[in-house]
Amino acid sequence: MSISERQADAPQRSRVDLLADVAEMYYVDGLEQREIADKIGLSRSNVSRLLTEARRSGIVEIRIRRPLGRTRSLEQELVDTFGIADARVLAARPRQDAGTALAEVGALAARLLVERLQDGQTIGISWGTSLEALVGALHPPRAYSVDVVQLMGGLNWVSPALSGDRLGQRLADALGGRFTAMLAPATIVSSAFAQRSA
């Protein structure tokens, strides 16, 4: 379509189509606002207003995929203090809500798991929101011949989605491995004495 045809057609087009066309030329095709203005016969300032309207109306959705920041000094301190092989600590960000932070912790843990994973390993799993975030973020590059085992019995007050048997099965499925459940209730005691006498 020529410039004159687009100019003649512009008043007849719906506003939504115009917003989508301008947004596509700017965000997808990479045209500058002046180029878009020349193509559709509007001023550059009108194009700028259309782009703002496209964002406000939801035609354009901007998603920022920030890399997961880490606090390496604290990671090293944990390794040194506790004699563990490795640690990952997510760097805090201002104005970050708890749900986003939990999802990022899960993604960081999932990345570490895949980095360390080898065929023939056995992975023990308990339960909880952090492990659920890990399992939800796990996208391994291939299937692994691993065994996933449940480390503690079930708790009837835990949400089924967070329970050890459900998470263990999901983890094994995601990795292409096998899952072994612990078909027993978890026991929580109030003291060491109660534990010995149980």
How many Cβ atoms from other residues are within 10 Å of residue 101's Cβ?
14
Q: Are 158 and 127 in contact (CB under 8 A)?
A: yes
User: Please, what are the domains in the chain?
Assistant: 3-56 (1.10.10.10), 72-180 (3.40.50.1360)
Burial 6-32 (b: 16+ CB within 10 A, else e): eeeeeeeeeeeebbbbbbebbeeeebe
pLDDT of residue 38: 93
pLDDT of residue 132: 93
Residue whose tokens read 């708790």: 155
pLDDT of residue 67: 75
pLDDT of residue 79: 96
* Rounded-to-10 torsion of CA 75, 77, 80, 82: -80
* pLDDT tens-place values along the chain, 198 residues long: 444 455 444 454 588 999 999 999 999 999 999 999 999 999 999 999 999 999 999 999 887 766 788 999 999 999 999 999 999 999 888 887 888 889 999 999 999 999 999 999 999 998 889 999 999 999 999 999 999 999 887 766 667 777 778 889 999 999 999 999 887 776 666 766 655 555
Burial 58-97 (b: 16+ CB within 10 A, else e): ebbeeeeeeeeeeeeeeeeebeeeeeeeebbbbeeeeeee
pLDDT of residue 12: 47
Q: What angle do CA 132, 150, 160 make, to 5 degrees?
A: 45
**pTM score of the predicted model:** 0.59
Q: What is the DSSP letter of 147?
A: E
Helix (H) or strand (E) holding 148: strand 147-150
Both tokens assigned to 46: 């009108």
Helices 44-56 and 15-23 meet at what angle, rounded to 10? 100
Q: Which one, of 83, 163, 170, 156, lies nearest residue 127 by Cα?
A: 163
Helices 44-56 and 33-40 meet at what angle, rounded to 10? 100
Using DSSP, state whether 123 is helix, strand or coil. Answer: strand
pLDDT of residue 23: 93
